[in-house]
Amino acid sequence: MIAIPSNSAIDPQDPDPRDVKPNNFSETHRDATPAPHPSSNVATLAADATHPPQQNGNEERSGPRNAPRANNDPRNDKRQRQNNQPRRDRRDIHGWIVLDKPIGMTSTQSVAIVKRLFQAKRAGHAGTLDPLASGGLPIALGEATKTVPFVMDGRKRYGFMVRWGEERDTDDSEGQVVRTSDVRPTPKSICDLLPQFTGRIDQTPPRYSAIKVQGERAYDLARDGETVELASRQVEIHQLTLKEQLDRDHSVFEAECGKGTYVRALARDMGRILGCYGHICALRRTLVGPFGENVMISLERLEALCNRAASGEGSLADALLPVETALDDIPALAVTRADAARLHRGQAVLLRGRDAPNGSGTVYVTVAGRLLALAEIGNGELIPKRVFNLTGLTASSGRNERV
Question: Which residues are marked as active site?
Answer: 130
168 to each of 172, 185, 207, 278, 290, how far by Cα in Å? 6, 18, 11, 8, 33
Beta strands 233-247 and 134-141: pairing type?
A: unpaired
Question: Nearest Cα to 377, choosing from 358, 395, 354?
Answer: 358
Residues 86-92: contacts with CB under 8 Å, at least 24 apart: 88/119, 89/119, 90/119, 90/120, 90/121, 91/118, 91/119, 91/120, 91/121, 91/392, 91/393, 92/121, 92/142, 92/391, 92/392, 92/393
CA atoms of 314 and 362, how far apart (whole Å): 37
Query: Are 373 and 388 spatial neighbours (Cβ–Cβ below 8 Å)?
Result: yes
- Region of 395 (left: φ > 0; alpha: ψ -120 to 50; beta: rest) is beta
Q: Which three-class secondary structure state does DSSP give residue 195?
A: helix
Amino acid in the structure at residue 258: G
Residues 6+ apart with CB under 8 A from 35: 47
